[in-house]
Structure 1
């Protein structure tokens, strides 16, 4: 039965109102990719679907619910106009040059014209490609659910990210640490181009293709850079600034990516490739969420510096086009200015500070130190702080701290700062910047355990909460509570 599915069926001609496919990346030429069809999976079924994203893409609800969509987004059927391909790139992994990499289990189906502009549609777990190395090209149900929920959670939090349209599953076995079942997650983004794409063509001395790629990115996504005296230096500066804003968003929300290799860094400043990610429970600046990261290279507090290191690698890759090392270094300098400013702005919003004062940075730093010394649950602290007023007893916040004297001293400092702040505006600002719900590891694990038994209600419930994480969602307070003791034993790694 499986052998009979080795070749996809004839292309579907999806008439109105189905999606209309193209593939602008394919126009770069065959040196950038390999065209191939996904490897079908037997008897696919729906695991989760984001109807909200489908509507943003201009897809009709009934299409995403159809048998045709199930087959197309699993990789079992091709569609007229699409040109499935796997792109080639290289990269630094854990600080070491890894050479040629590429889309080892992801296949770009093409792009759709949407109300928000062109969006690439990529399926992950679609089978072996020329860049799979020793891998099988598959994804498992566990990791696919995690990426699906995390992508939509980050979007709900207002953090730049690739999106996830759906997850489909199959009972086809896949070997990881144990035998698991296969799944495919459909991802969307204006582009999936990474720092590693530029590194590949630079390190292999394919400078004509490096220029073609850079021009494609500038013309499609950074058109203002074309007007600069040195467009490629302007591109590096613009990417540095977007990445700085992204890192500020990660740090403010307590997000750990876990594997910030250069091939996992988006040229558009998006969060990409959700593997061993984690939202912090107890606040620990040195927290390492990736069990494979034995040296702690990608610990939470190291993420901003790693992002700069990765940008430096991008700068080196672009140097054949910039041609002036000092100009490249100057383009990177913007990161050092933009990141602290962006982080401070986000933290002021979390603290409800509607104006800016000289001592704000010290208040922010003292807040981080207090949370770290008491290992306070990060998300719960900020959400409870929304109800803090200088006149109240602060019991619900104080109860999170074992060092009550240190908390009282901080609360006095905070109360004095709030004296000049409109309290109504402060409460509204805080509730919009401190979510009640984040995708904690144990919540994802519970949904995954149920999904393995073909119960997808947990996935759907989490999706609805995470797409609106700042809302109260009465009746779902258990999803916003403290993690259970067993949550600390969950290990996530590069295979997650």
Structure 2
């Protein structure tokens, strides 16, 4: 099965209008004493005013000629900035739409830290107004000068078909900032530059037939998953804050409340930025944008990867994971003439490499984007633009979270192939630059390109060869990273080639055949000692911990057959763990010492999460926030998303235990009257008797509007069962 994985300034409200906001309570932020945070005027980090800001993207690249300056856009009535085709520019100056009474629902403490913003800033009205798009930092509204928001132009291939002009239809970037709190591991710099953006901030020239708004439902999902992916170590765009727009009603399938997410990334440039330029034949703009990406986004030409010793067989290249960098000058060309790598070829390879590493992490943790169009593929290899995404539940390689994906184009098993398909489109967009070899900087080429005939044939041949070689590098790097990550998830220290088939593929086949939960399997494996797997009977007994509470749901498979199959895999895993971690005893038998066993299990728990934001969890959170009026639930779920490897969370505020998939039964109810509360308590006591047939406790937690009724079997506290098992038994 595993082989299938490859197939600075003062701010004022826009237009000068003051706005109001709903106060953000201490409880809706992080659980770490906000009283301390609010008092920390001298705490590390910046205020919004002192936060360093820049606008490099808009100062180095050409704007939409309709609004050549920010003042031209700012003087235009906001309702006159509507969808249209944009040519001869890469972005449009556009301010967010004004919002009335925005409510700041939640803030990510990790995002505040990584942006080097003081936690106490999130308690200020300035922060609330910024998060809703009512405050422009860096723009002087009186002089009509300074840094100004913008929306990007891009196009894209959607489901394999050219979709024409797309662009930031509801996203508006505010400014860039450089944070000393995060080291850029790619460039080696001690700081990281981020572009801060609002999603759901209003209509832009790129909105097409849409309204420029975002609904609360999708905004909650993006807010949580952005931070969850980052906490798992998966490259991703980030989310700083989430605001509810109580006076904005958005029509989708139904009328839903509007929301805005403050998100940030090292860059929001996608492959689609190049697609639209290629479709329009805009050679100068492709070169200009590629140069910007290399110099401003990827750290400079000297940070791009030098040529591999064997680019046609990169698996054997010792420098595959760490190619030489900084050895080639900007205009140096490496390799034989027919495959000469100039700096634009190195740029292409860098984009390919970053995406390969990210896809390997998606496959390792079972994350599916659901809409991997070229406009949703990052130039930096970030997970970006979260629509119908999902994490894998029961392992099914053909699963796609996109209900419109009838051909399974974006299914789990196809993600590596589709990202490569997108990267080939990117290669075609910059093909002239990478195929030009050492001629790329000649005046003739820059002005006129190449002539038809032998010169063009040579360029095309070279470009095709370089793209093909990059494909081999993509595949090799993906597999290398995937093997490394899977080795860690299984608690092994050294990968052996036989592990790929005997452990990785065999495990995925077993999960698929028995319909076992993907991430729970690894987490539960983290608690098993090899000492407890010595006999066949012991292994068959242990196999049950990987089953759902209801038992085996796969058709045509008995529980005994399932136990036998899992036990067989456990024996192979046990042998490898003993080989990897054990020492030879006096009798020659290898055993794993208790201290080493604890070390292995601790290492596994650091890479196998106990919490991931599954779809049913997010659905419940959305329901409770939107319909139930809850607010603290977002903070609590975000706390778990930011600490996915914890065995338990220091949170006694009554978070639904069903929500985190830890215990058996929890129901959240709106209290209508005392009789209803009493009847529900009685009902759940009876439910405990029915479900568990053993002693149990009923815990009632809550406040004046909501109650949590928790049924916990005595002696089972801490035993984890499959998410949704309570629901499936009680529906």
Match of 2:99 among 25, 30, 41: 41
Q: 1:399 to 1:206 in 2, by over 3 A?
A: same
| Cα pair 1:118 1:190 within 8 Å, conserved | yes
Instruction: State the shift of 1:111 in Å.
Output: 0.6
Q: 1:485 to 1:428 in 2, by over 3 A?
A: closer
Q: Indicate whether 1:437 and 2:611 are aligned.
A: yes
In the alignment, which residue of structure 2 is the partner of 1:107? 172
Instruction: State the shift of 1:471 in Å.
Output: 0.9
Q: Structure 1 regions of 5+ residues with no counterpart?
A: 489-496
2:401 aligned counterpart, secondary structure: coil
Q: 1:16 to 1:377 in 2, by over 3 A?
A: closer
Instruction: Give the stretch that moved more between structures: 475-484 or 236-245.
Output: 475-484
In the alignment, which residue of structure 2 is the partner of 1:494? none
1:281 aligned counterpart, secondary structure: coil
In the alignment, which residue of structure 2 is the partner of 1:412? 571
In the alignment, which residue of structure 1 is the partner of 2:638? 463
| Cα pair 1:315 1:329 within 8 Å, conserved | no
In the alignment, which residue of structure 1 is the partner of 2:428? 316
Instruction: Give the stretch that moved more between structures: 34-43 or 63-72.
Output: 63-72
Q: Indicate whether 1:356 and 2:480 are aligned.
A: no
Q: Distance in 1 between the 2:97 and 2:406 partners?
A: 34
1:72 aligned counterpart, secondary structure: helix
In the alignment, which residue of structure 2 is the partner of 1:75? 133
In the alignment, which residue of structure 1 is the partner of 2:670? none
1:22 aligned counterpart, secondary structure: coil
In the alignment, which residue of structure 2 is the partner of 1:32? 90
Instruction: State the shift of 1:10 in Å.
Output: 8.6
Instruction: State the shift of 1:58 in Å.
Output: 1.5
Q: Distance in 1 between the 2:177 and 2:121 partners?
A: 14
In the alignment, which residue of structure 1 is the partner of 2:673? none
In the alignment, which residue of structure 2 is the partner of 1:398? 544
In the alignment, which residue of structure 2 is the partner of 1:175? 251
Q: Distance in 2 between the 1:55 and 1:237 partners?
A: 32
| Cα pair 1:141 1:182 within 8 Å, conserved | yes
Instruction: State the shift of 1:117 in Å.
Output: 2.5
Instruction: Give the stretch that moved more between structures: 464-473 or 414-423.
Output: 414-423
| Cα pair 1:18 1:59 within 8 Å, conserved | no
1:102 aligned counterpart, secondary structure: coil
Q: Structure 2 regions of 5+ residues with no counterpart?
A: 1-12, 20-45, 64-88, 139-145, 181-190, 305-328, 334-341, 436-461, 533-537, 548-558, 582-596, 663-721
| Cα pair 1:64 1:70 within 8 Å, conserved | yes
Q: Distance in 2 between the 1:160 and 1:15 partners?
A: 27
Structure 2 counterparts to residues 42-441 of structure 1, below 5 A: 42-80=100-138, 81-115=146-180, 116-171=191-246, 172-220=248-296, 221-223=298-300, 224-225=303-304, 227=330, 229=333, 230-323=342-435, 324-325=462-463, 326-362=465-501, 363-392=503-532, 393=538, 395=541, 397-401=543-547, 402=559, 403-422=562-581, 423-441=597-615
Instruction: State the shift of 1:26 in Å.
Output: 0.4
Q: 1:470 to 1:339 in 2, by over 3 A?
A: same
How many matched pairs?
482
Instruction: State the shift of 1:19 in Å.
Output: 2.6
What whole-Å deviation, never above 9, does each CA across 1:33-63 have from its counterpart, x for those lacking one? 0001111222100111012211221212222
Q: 1:96 to 1:8 in 2, by over 3 A?
A: farther
Q: Distance in 1 between the 2:726 and 2:152 partners?
A: 40
1:420 aligned counterpart, secondary structure: helix
| Cα pair 2:98 2:134 within 8 Å, conserved | yes
Specify which structure has the bigger relative contact order, considering alpha-carbon pairs within 8 angstroms and separated by 6 or more residues. 1
Q: Distance in 2 between the 1:59 and 1:429 partners?
A: 32
Q: Distance in 1 between the 2:617 and 2:404 partners?
A: 22
Q: Distance in 1 between the 2:359 and 2:121 partners?
A: 36
1:77 aligned counterpart, secondary structure: coil
1:366 aligned counterpart, secondary structure: helix
Please report the TM-score for the alignment, with normalisation by the length of structure 2.
0.64
Q: Distance in 1 between the 2:56 and 2:635 partners?
A: 33
| Cα pair 1:17 1:60 within 8 Å, conserved | no
Instruction: State the shift of 1:7 in Å.
Output: 4.1
Q: Distance in 1 between the 2:250 and 2:48 partners?
A: 36
Q: Distance in 1 between the 2:598 and 2:545 partners?
A: 24
Q: 1:237 to 1:34 in 2, by over 3 A?
A: same
Q: Distance in 1 between the 2:356 and 2:16 partners?
A: 42
Q: Distance in 2 between the 1:121 and 1:283 partners?
A: 36
* Larger radius of gyration between Structure 1 and Structure 2: 2
Q: Distance in 2 between the 1:247 and 1:199 partners?
A: 21
Q: Distance in 2 between the 1:446 and 1:275 partners?
A: 17
In the alignment, which residue of structure 2 is the partner of 1:480? 661
Please report the TM-score for the alignment, with normalisation by the length of structure 1.
0.93
| Cα pair 2:48 2:121 within 8 Å, conserved | no
Instruction: State the shift of 1:241 in Å.
Output: 1.2
